[in-house]
Structure 1
Amino acid sequence: MLVAVLLPFILALFIPLLSKWKYKLHTGYFVTIIPVIIFIYFIRFIGAGFEPVTREYSWIPSLDMNIVFYLDGLSLLFVLLISGIGALVAYYSIFYLHKSEQLGNFYVYFLLFMGSMLGVVLSDNVFVLYSFWEFTSISSFLLIGFWNHKKASRYGALKSMLITVFGGLSLLGALVFMSNLTNTASIQGMIDQQQLILNHEYFPLILCLLLLGAFTKSAQFPFHIWLPDAMEAPTPVSAYLHSATMVKAGIYLVARYSPMLSSNDWFFIIVSTFGIITLCWGSYMAVRQTDLKGILAFSTISQLGMIMSMLGFGTKMAVFAAVFHILNHATFKGSLFMVAGIVDHETGSRDIRKLGGLMTYLPITATLAVLASFSMAGVPLPFLNGFYSKELFFDASLHLKVTPEGFKELLQMAMPYLAVFGSIFTFVYSMYFFFGTFRGKANIEELPKKPHEAPFGMLVSPIILVIGVIVIGLFPHLINEPFIAHAAHAVKGVEFEKHIKFWHGITPPLIMSLTVVVFGTILVLTRKIWQPVYRFIPGVLSMNKFYDGTVDRVERYSGKITNGYMNGSLGRYVRLILAAILVTTFAFMAVTGGFTIDTSNLADLSLPGISVAVMMVIAAVGTIITNNRITAILILGVVGYGLSMLFVLFRAPDLALTQLIIETVTVALFLLVFYHLPKLRKKEESASTRVLNIVISVGFGAMMTMIAISAHSSKWFDSIAGYFIEKSHSLGGGDNVVNVILVDFRGLDTLFEIVVLGIAAMAIFGMIRLRGNKEED
């Protein structure tokens, strides 16, 4: 299992080499092999007798932190979507991306993203999950901004990363809270101790932080605004990110924690409310778009809201419908994105106002589009998988099981009506996408390119996905018991025996579906009449304006703050740094009880020691008041050599010798660069600045003194000195304990210190050579 996750990362290392052959063989062929291998490996787990599989690999044993992969029905569903659709997208990209593109960069980003998503859905350790979670944000940022010469691509990439990383930090807070409360980093371990979390006073905060991470990733209202701008990515990226991977990560997170959270009323209220609002708003706004990928972007938002609301319902039927629709959505939405890419590739435009009548020119593409869009609309036809999960959604909205009180009762009553409202506009934008593109009058003269059918290689991937739409629609039982039931069981924790079939008689869900078709058809036919409503709702209001305004204000105010202290004054920089260290250190010590003074274990004072200390104090003060550079250097040396004498008096000859060497080198270096040192002169400073300097200097000195005293006086842990004394000869082969510590016990530290010194020496040598070359020139 670990190899399967690492395969994309391993191949990514070789892509720069493989991309050099792109003019002989497209790099995409090499990339397609990896998800195919992963898909074949995991598909063998499908079956009625499937049981969860756990694999544990050592990572940081000292912290009891290991990489744990957990494969159950839910993670298997996502792994197969990530690898299966990943293979189709990689193959599709071969014909979509020309060899002149920066294919090396594209496929590196693509593989990093694929590996990160596999890590997210397979990780049982929350900190491993979070690491992969943030890596998906970074790699998707690179994919969305692949065409970085376009301003819109850079804007969309930055927007997606800012919003999702903000949610990721919130998620980290929730994971840390739960890990500390349960004393485990395992998701399954947390679920086993769910009552400890549910009954804790911090549970509301944990729930909000967790859902914030999920909502931002899965583009739930009001965080949905990043997804339409992400459409600036190449179409293969859009098809992959928004059908099976990136936006499904938040859905996965909510589903994974549902066994623990779904019993809480606030989980139902928050998740269902935001989910149904996202469904209604996304479907409503999709009809407003004129860009094909823009329509699909808002359709994705609405579909994600639908799945999220079903997870919020928490009933057995709702969970089954949610899991089923995750699969269905991946099939029809992935194919529709590829259809949009074909239209763009073959006509040079995605503007639906310029398109129309393309069925004559792209008959195969139009056939794929009609099947996928009608499935997305939930049209009641037995060979379209979208209808099955849409009907289950309606059924689940009618059978909510919540305590009938207050807002929950109102939400329960409103849910079926909101479900129908959102689905009506889902029908409208589905018909709008198909008929606006492939039917009507052809405007060939307005298109940049004369349209013609795409090459067969570009059609293969959407054909396979549409075949999936039809096969699941005709034979839903083939994927029910061996596949979907296991995924639903992982979310709900109960056995599922749901029988999926097309005809259940004249039932309320069927009536709701027919209502959607009737009212949706009316709205489609009268769209030009009611289209002006968008001038009022949303009108001038926009979450994008709020985002842009927030980012603009943050940049403006942060610039003013930065310009306020970054004025080129080294003195000011030093004062700010020392003041910050002083305040934070003293505050931390005060809060944690760090001020400890214990004189019971101190050496006796002696006249030589006192004399040396007084000499060092006088020398230190002398460095401040002297105006002569040589005098300052020599007096500073007195302080260092005095410290060496103290080491001798306290019987630490090794430290004394080290200090002598350091001080000698320091004084020698000062004298070597003496010519370049600035002349010491009194600087004209205001009285307030001098007082501030005195306060910071005295305070910082007092702080270092207190740290030294408190560190010596505080005995939070047993001293390790006895261990070093006892083991230095037997383990290190030496009786000089300090040398054994440096060479053996802390050998890696010493090695890296030597490496740092070596790098510094080479840098100095290079600077000297450069200066010598300039002088010769």
Structure 2
Amino acid sequence: MTFDVAVVLVPFIFALLISMLYRFISKKYIGWLVTAVSLVLFIILTTYIPRISNGEIITFTHEWIPSLGINFTTYLDGLSLMFSLLITGVGSLVGLYSIFYLSKSEQLYHFYCYLLLFMGAMLGVVLSDNILVLYGFWEMTSVSSFLLIAFWHHRKASRAGARKSMLITVAGGISMLAGFLMLYEMSGTLSIREIIEKAGLIRESALFVPALVLVLLGAFTKSAQFPFYIWLPDAMEAPTPVSAYLHSATMVKAGIYLVARFTPVFGNEAAWFWLVTGVGLFTLFWGSFNAVKQVDLKAMLAFSTVSQLGLIMSLLGMGSVAIYLGHSSETVIYTQAAFAAIFHLINHSTFKGALFMMVGILDHELGTRDLRRLGGLMYFMPLTFTIALIGCLSMAGLPPFNGFLSKEMFFAATLHIQDLSILSLDHIGFLIPLVAWIASVFTFVYCLIIVGKTFFGKVKTHLLDKHPHEAPVGMLISPYILIILVVGIFFFPNLLGRYVLNPAMASIFPMFPSAEELAPTIHAWHGFFSPELWMTILAVVAGIFLYSLLKSWKAIYRILPYHLSLNALFNNGILWSESLSARFTRRYMTGNLTDYFVYIFVAFLLVVGGYFLYGDVFSWSPVNPESLDVFEAILMVIIMVSSIGILFAKSRITIVFLTSVLGYSVAFFFIVFRAPDLALTQLVVESVSTVLFLLCFRHLPEIKRGVQSKWKEARNLVISLAMGATVTMAGLAALHYEKFKTISEYYNDSYLLAGGKNIVNTILGDFRAFDTMLEVVVLFIAGLGVYTLIKLKAKGGGQNEN
């Protein structure tokens, strides 16, 4: 087993160990253990950087379900290594931060177990080559993030936020699964590498565009693109370490990874460009626009995350133009958009992770994140102010911070795209840089709000729960490491480009011969007259102007009433569906056994009876009366008399006895037909059933037949007759059915296939062994339940003493 497999399994192993051995692990050390696991994985992953940067690809395959082509295959290339480094690197910093952030009174074992489960699931997503295995890990990220968001489950908002994120991301995951199945249908393989190799064949299929849309739905929901972004702000009810990890560096980047990974497959389609670029650009604008109106710092960072994810998504869409154009002189220009996407992805993880931790420090030390209660904190918390200032300036795209480099590349990409004469861009291409610039203006405004409203102005100590003071050193280590990276990447960007970004580019564009030619050299200065620099300068000027007049124009946010917002539509949709399902359930869950039999019999008649009517399968030959044995005739008469007698019985005891007569008669039929094993089984079952019925029914009152309407009586009569006729037809048709081989022919070879001479035992013990085992487990669980109830009753427990 190679390390790229172990890196997926190790978090799950330690999560299991924590859940089993938590009594023996002190709460003081549990956080350090998880941090050490993440850090060790990160360090070992860094040893793969030289090999991957030299073009090597490391794979490992373990056959899981080879008959279905489902294998656990890991695939470590430039793209997966970059994401793996983010997952483990930021994971170790978040683990360290959480040690000082979370109280020892919290359920820390649960928290770190969930955190490891999420880390393992994310690593599984980015390292899996099999699309069905990737889907399994994908949904595991949704489940583990649900547990992390709802960690403070005593809060109603936490539970609601976790439920919303689960519903939206899982729904997107299911649509993505449908797209994966379409890809399998088109390519005949579940391997992502092989699907990419067959991209030309896949594009000729009628399922290509539907698969494209379904895969993007999965990516958009996970990466909080418009209109699915509404789960991300509500997920901010999670503890701040969760927000810093899931919602800035990892989970929300899973959709980005999916788009980057499948760009070689779908990038040649115009729909891919328009959907990815268009949705990304609108999300960029909408997120930045809505961030300005927030008064909760975490909510503001949540909308800023939505905006930045839209920026990265739009860059990947613009980068796909290179595949659309093919190998030409213009290819390099558009591949640089994809390069800017992965570059900004790393930059965003650094400055946004630091900003989330900064907000967590304010919340932890002051007891609030409300901007209306904050102000003047620069003098009391200078170290925290430094984190906020550097993080916000990088997010705003100003030098000398890494966000400036990728933001300039973003502006350059939008300007190049508008000049493209294909994809109808010659008509509306100017909108792309315009929307990008407007969104950047709002980005600068909310960055000014975060720094200005929090750290400048008057101190409002009377509105704070605690006196302002600096955070402990332990909480400052992780965000300071991140802001050091923010500055360091600005001065040494090509070191990151050479060893991390360039190999990732080779993964996104495997159809081009050399990634070195596609990956640009990163420059901090392109000259004073570069258009992208002037876009930045104008965005800063416009942002300062809007910030100074914030109170004058902020009223525009009240134009759209809340009941028309996406959140209101989602919440009302959930309430409406719950109300509808409750009304529907009350209609069919009547508590009347007759109604339940009506549902069952009608469904049976529609399926089986409909098949008989339209399938032309009914055929039978009359049985010669002379071939009937006298015992068979007697048993037939007994069964018919007993069946008719049940209809007119007036007590439950009589019904039980007549039902038993039917069952024992069937057992005697088995004897006549020389099937002693079946006869013995039938006799045992009937005896046990009769005893149980008698034990239960003797305590019930006599049957009181209610007065039914004539319509219900007629309905029940018709259904009963139709049911009897259908079952009779099925039995007669089975006697001489020749269109398909009977299954008994397969079981007749039980001695050769399973080595058993008793066909019934062989079926139960070999052919249906799994089913039989589960039945035994169910009986075992039921037995434990009965035993527990008896013990509780014997001890006088199980009653409410109040």
Give yes or no for TM over 0.5. yes
Aligned 8 A contact 2:142 2:166 in 1: yes
Q: Hey, what's the Cα distance between the residues in 2 that align with 1:523 and 1:603?
A: 97
Deviation at 1:602, TM superposition (A): 10
- Which residue is equivalent to 2:628? 607
Counterpart amino acid of residue 617 in structure 2:
T
Distance 1:696 1:207, change over 3 A: farther
Match of 1:516 among 530, 534, 539: 539
- Which residue is equivalent to 1:366? 385
Give matches, 1:677-716, under 5 Å.
Answer: 677-704=700-727
Alignment pair present for 1:460 and 2:469: no
Deviation at 1:487, TM superposition (A): 1.1
Counterpart amino acid of residue 696 in structure 1:
I
Counterpart amino acid of residue 300 in structure 1:
T
- Which residue is equivalent to 1:187? 192
- Which residue is equivalent to 2:279? 274
SS at 2:59 equivalent: strand
SS at 2:251 equivalent: coil
Q: Hey, what's the Cα distance between the residues in 1 that align with 2:426 and 2:634?
A: 83
Counterpart amino acid of residue 568 in structure 1:
G
- Which residue is equivalent to 1:736? 758
- Which residue is equivalent to 2:128? 123
Q: Hey, what's the Cα distance between the residues in 2 that align with 1:109 and 1:353?
A: 34
- Which residue is equivalent to 1:474? 491
Alignment pair present for 1:431 and 2:448: yes
Deviations 1:410-429 (A, max 9, x none): 44221011111111111111
SS at 1:247 equivalent: helix
Q: Hey, what's the Cα distance between the residues in 2 that align with 1:79 and 1:328?
A: 15
Give matches, 1:440-451, under 5 Å.
Answer: 440-451=457-468
- Which residue is equivalent to 1:326? 345
Alignment pair present for 1:7 and 2:10: yes
Aligned 8 A contact 1:117 1:246 in 2: yes
Aligned 8 A contact 1:126 1:175 in 2: yes
Distance 1:643 1:248, change over 3 A: same
Deviation at 1:719, TM superposition (A): 6.2
After superposing the two structures, state which structure 1 stretch, 241-250 or 202-211, moved more.
202-211
Q: Hey, what's the Cα distance between the residues in 1 that align with 2:87 and 2:298?
A: 21
After superposing the two structures, state which structure 1 stretch, 256-265 or 445-454, moved more.
445-454
Give matches, 1:193-212, under 5 Å.
Answer: 193-212=198-217
- Which residue is equivalent to 2:32? 29
Match of 2:642 among 613, 616, 619: 619
Q: Hey, what's the Cα distance between the residues in 2 that align with 1:291 and 1:457?
A: 25
Counterpart amino acid of residue 186 in structure 1:
S
Deviation at 1:610, TM superposition (A): 5.5
Distance 1:357 1:62, change over 3 A: same
Deviations 1:566-623 (A, max 9, x none): 3332332332344345435656x489x8663465999998312465445423322222
Deviations 1:59-101 (A, max 9, x none): 2234332212222211111111111101100110001001011
- Which residue is equivalent to 2:551? 528
Counterpart amino acid of residue 499 in structure 2:
P
Deviation at 1:281, TM superposition (A): 0.8
- Which residue is equivalent to 1:637? 660
Aligned 8 A contact 2:375 2:455 in 1: yes
Counterpart amino acid of residue 569 in structure 2:
F
Q: Hey, what's the Cα distance between the residues in 2 that align with 1:385 and 1:668?
A: 79
After superposing the two structures, state which structure 1 stretch, 474-483 or 748-757, moved more.
748-757
- Which residue is equivalent to 2:690? 667
SS at 2:457 equivalent: coil
- Which residue is equivalent to 1:757? 779
Aligned 8 A contact 1:342 1:454 in 2: yes
Q: Hey, what's the Cα distance between the residues in 2 that align with 1:502 and 1:515?
A: 18
Q: Hey, what's the Cα distance between the residues in 1 that align with 2:454 and 2:126?
A: 36
Match of 2:143 among 138, 148, 169: 138
Q: How many residues align?
A: 772
Deviation at 1:499, TM superposition (A): 0.7
Aligned 8 A contact 1:78 1:121 in 2: yes
After superposing the two structures, state which structure 1 stretch, 250-259 or 759-768, moved more.
759-768
Match of 2:42 among 36, 39, 43: 39
After superposing the two structures, state which structure 1 stretch, 182-191 or 426-435, moved more.
182-191
Long gaps (5+) in structure 1: none
Deviation at 1:524, TM superposition (A): 2.4
Aligned 8 A contact 2:273 2:317 in 1: yes
Aligned 8 A contact 2:122 2:250 in 1: yes
Q: Hey, what's the Cα distance between the residues in 2 that align with 1:602 and 1:9?
A: 64
Q: Hey, what's the Cα distance between the residues in 1 that align with 2:263 and 2:371?
A: 40
Distance 1:99 1:180, change over 3 A: same
Distance 1:709 1:466, change over 3 A: farther
Counterpart amino acid of residue 474 in structure 2:
G
Q: Hey, what's the Cα distance between the residues in 2 that align with 1:571 and 1:290?
A: 58
**What is the Cα-based RMSD across aligned positions, in Å?**
3.0
Deviations 1:505-563 (A, max 9, x none): 22222222222222222222332332223233677742111112211211222222222
Q: Hey, what's the Cα distance between the residues in 2 that align with 1:632 and 1:535?
A: 70
- Which residue is equivalent to 1:549? 572
Give matches, 1:305-316, under 5 Å.
Answer: 305-313=310-318, 314=320, 315-316=334-335
Counterpart amino acid of residue 520 in structure 2:
K
Q: Hey, what's the Cα distance between the residues in 2 that align with 1:668 and 1:553?
A: 47
Q: Hey, what's the Cα distance between the residues in 2 that align with 1:676 and 1:627?
A: 16
Match of 2:70 among 59, 65, 74: 65
Distance 1:384 1:763, change over 3 A: closer
Aligned 8 A contact 1:319 1:492 in 2: no
Q: Hey, what's the Cα distance between the residues in 2 that align with 1:59 and 1:402?
A: 50
Distance 1:514 1:597, change over 3 A: same
Q: Hey, what's the Cα distance between the residues in 1 that align with 2:720 and 2:796?
A: 41
Deviation at 1:362, TM superposition (A): 1.2
- Which residue is equivalent to 1:502? 524
Distance 1:206 1:353, change over 3 A: same
Aligned 8 A contact 2:158 2:238 in 1: yes
Distance 1:554 1:738, change over 3 A: closer
Distance 1:521 1:764, change over 3 A: closer
Alignment pair present for 1:388 and 2:409: no
Deviations 1:133-165 (A, max 9, x none): 112112111111111222221221111112112
Counterpart amino acid of residue 424 in structure 1:
V
After superposing the two structures, state which structure 1 stretch, 73-82 or 609-618, moved more.
609-618
Deviation at 1:366, TM superposition (A): 1.2
TM-score w.r.t. the length of structure 2 is 0.89
Long gaps (5+) in structure 2: 321-333
SS at 1:371 equivalent: helix
Q: Hey, what's the Cα distance between the residues in 2 that align with 1:695 and 1:330?
A: 68
Q: Hey, what's the Cα distance between the residues in 1 that align with 2:759 and 2:701?
A: 43
Aligned 8 A contact 1:23 1:99 in 2: no
Deviation at 1:368, TM superposition (A): 1.8
- Which residue is equivalent to 2:94? 89
After superposing the two structures, state which structure 1 stretch, 393-402 or 446-455, moved more.
393-402
Q: Hey, what's the Cα distance between the residues in 1 that align with 2:564 and 2:762?
A: 69
SS at 1:289 equivalent: coil
- Which residue is equivalent to 1:106? 111
Deviation at 1:750, TM superposition (A): 3.7
Counterpart amino acid of residue 178 in structure 2:
G
Deviation at 1:44, TM superposition (A): 1.6
Deviation at 1:201, TM superposition (A): 2.4
Match of 1:654 among 677, 699, 702: 677
Counterpart amino acid of residue 381 in structure 2:
L
Distance 1:584 1:318, change over 3 A: farther
